[in-house]
Chains A and B, each alone.
Chain A
Amino acid sequence: MSAREAILARIARARGVAGAAVDADDLIRRHPRGPTAPPDEDLVQWFCSQAAHLASDVARAATLAEVPEQAARYLRERQLPMQAVCWPGLAALDWRTAGIAAAARPVRNTDLVGITGACAAIAETGTLMLLSGLDTPATVSLLPETHIAVVEQARIVATMEDAWDRLRAEHSALPRAVTFVSGPSRTADVEQTVTLGAHGPYRVLILVVEAPGR
């Protein structure tokens, strides 16, 4: 008997007859929610304060057109390099005028700034939901030291459950990787002291865009 059959047989035996009534597939069809916290305040406010709480830097932009200038100001203020790698969908913004050389290409080890969008942003925890894909490569938010995420206000949802609903509505299946990002990479493994910037980015700027505009 294979390990698979042996393991399944043992479980089935322990489950006995009582468990047989459980309709596992029905549960998946209904996918009921657990208890969730209702929003205390305006969703956008809630998201911004929670994201800041987890050490993300947060800035607001009225339209998408304002994004390059906001990003440039952030990079200049911190004396960070003005070269960036970005998702293809964001390459059309006027980065050049703002002084940023942004390229949509695979990430190289030397890239220091990565610019992405987000499928959803979760107010409860100040979290970004990023999906992997050809046009949304996961490495852009992972390898560079600075991660700039452009989030349309309409994509802010209250909870992770709401984010799953949005994903189910917009995609027929899960992408290879759904990554939830809540602030810069950190570790408390070394002597229980939290330090930022372990394997992922040292800093995360979230640019909340009120209206995509033109």
Chain B
Amino acid sequence: MQVTALHFQRTAAASLHDAQLQRALARLQTKFVDARAAATEIRDRALRALDRHLLRFEREATARGTVVHWAESAEDVKRIVAEIADLCREAREVLRPRFLAADLGITGANFLVAETGSVVLVTNEGNGRLCTTLPRVHVALTGIEKVVPTLEDVTTLLRLLPRAATGQSITNYVSVLTGTKGADESDGPDHFHIILLDNGRSGLLGTELQPMLRCIRCGACMNHCPVYQSIGGHPYGWVYPGPMGSVLTPAFMGLENALDLPHASTLCGACAAVCPVSIPLPDLLRHLRHRQVERHLRPRPERIGLWIWSWLAQRPALYAMAARSAARLLRILAGRKHRLLHLPGASGWMRARDLPAPAGRTFRDLYRTGRRA
């Protein structure tokens, strides 16, 4: 194939004036931009009246025979699930011969629908269908922020979720589950329990981290993150890997329990660019870093270093003098090779890098000379 890259500017100009091409490109863009704006508004709208939607959800679900539980923490969840399992076991001892398969199916939920009291499950394999159709008891455990008002809202989100996650237009199976098996039905669970878990979520409402509650767990931020691409998911150390984990883990489990996560990012912005619900992840990560400093959670050498720098930076004359001496010192240390191979306190950084020697004069010196000339 002939290389025509030399004509880039001319061809690009022609493309810019090609009405048909521009229409096609615009359609491609606006489709995502429109859907993303709508999805963001849907999630925000749901969060603005979260308690109303949860109450409506509870009312509708209860009317269909679903039992709704509320849990503050993982401990609550364990207790509730154990109670449900106990009920199961009692029934099992009486009716054992009839239940060859599992008695209890446990799932999460991708969305909750306030309008209908339904749980929405998105899967490719069919495992979600299996464990919500065959067992006698279905337990769905999910965060309180998953509720959206209507089926239409879910539909808009369903257009974005699989595309952002795996590039699919829709997952193989989407199940919208409402209540227990009808008296005349052959399939489905006799008991349906939904556990609404808070575990730190309500504490994010009204704070800088509230946009994180829009998250629909697609994983697009993770797939596009250069840090995640280099280290994979395990180092993130909890349920959620990638940038979403770097915000969610400290937000739910405490900033002091995830000190490195807000720093596991180059802040390149790829995560925010691809997020289908416009979560400003780099801003949130920067905010968490800020909070770490405020709460004195950074390591002592870093704190002392920053204190010294800020003390100096507020004294311009002293700062200029220190900078001038540092530049001169580094130049002497660099010697004739004009590059530094080691620096005390930065051995990790310098192991793979050389530092070119400073020119000997600071920027301020050069600036002053330049202005005079």
Contact = CB atoms under 8 A, between A and B. Distances in A.
Contacts of B133: 138-139, 142, 177
B52 A24 contact: yes
**6 closest cross-chain pairs (CB), A and B:** A200-B126, A34-B156, A14-B205, A198-B125, A199-B126, A14-B206
13 contacts: A7-B196, A14-B206, A15-B50, A22-B49, A28-B56, A28-B114, A34-B39, A124-B169, A134-B184, A139-B186, A159-B155, A178-B176, A179-B175
A198 B152 contact: no
A164 B176 CA distance: 11
Contacts of A176: 177-182, 185, 188
Given A7-B70, A11-B50, A138-B133, A25 B31 contact: no
Interface stretch (B143-151, B231-239, B256-264, B362-370): B143-151
A85 to B, nearest CB: 12
A3 B144 CA distance: 12
A145 B70 CA distance: 39
Nearest to B31: A37
A200 B52 contact: no
A180 B152 contact: no
Given A142-B130, A188-B166, A3 B158 contact: no
Contacts of A189: 125
Given A3-B72, A27-B45, A178-B176, A185 B39 contact: no
Given A3-B70, A142-B133, A164-B151, 5 more contacts: A19-B49, A22-B52, A132-B187, A182-B171, A200-B126
Contacts of A6: 72
Contact of B132 (A4, A37, A177, A185): A177
A125 to B, nearest CB: 4
Tell me which of A28, A139, A160 has the highest count of chain B C-beta atoms within 10 A of its own C-beta. A28
Contacts of B134: 139
Interface string B55-76: 1100000001000001110001
B174 A180 contact: yes
B51 interface: yes
A156 B166 CA distance: 26
B155 A15 contact: no
B198 interface: yes
Nearest to B130: A199
Nearest to A53: B169
Contacts of A142: 126, 129-130, 133
Given A34-B42, A34-B156, A7 B202 contact: yes
Contacts of B169: 50, 54, 124-125
B34 interface: yes
A198 B76 contact: no
B170 interface: yes
Contact of A134 (B53, B54, B129, B185): B185
Given A11-B205, A138-B187, A198-B127, A31 B115 contact: yes
A12 interface: yes
B149 A28 contact: yes
B237 to A, nearest CB: 21
B48 A22 contact: yes
B15 interface: no
Given A22-B49, A199-B126, A125 B175 contact: no
Given A127-B170, A138-B187, A176-B177, A161 B125 contact: no
Contact of B172 (A2, A4, A178, A185): A185
Interface string A191-212: 0000000111100000000000
Interface string B346-370: 0000000000000000000000000
Contacts of A33: 152, 155-156
Nearest to A34: B156
B311 interface: no
Given A11-B202, A134-B185, A138-B187, A161 B152 contact: yes
A32 to B, nearest CB: 6
A213 interface: no
A10 B196 CA distance: 14
Contacts of A159: 155
B118 A160 contact: no
Contact of A187 (B34, B48, B125, B203): B125
Contacts of B174: 179-180
B116 interface: yes
B56 A25 contact: yes
A181 B151 contact: no
A185 B170 CA distance: 12
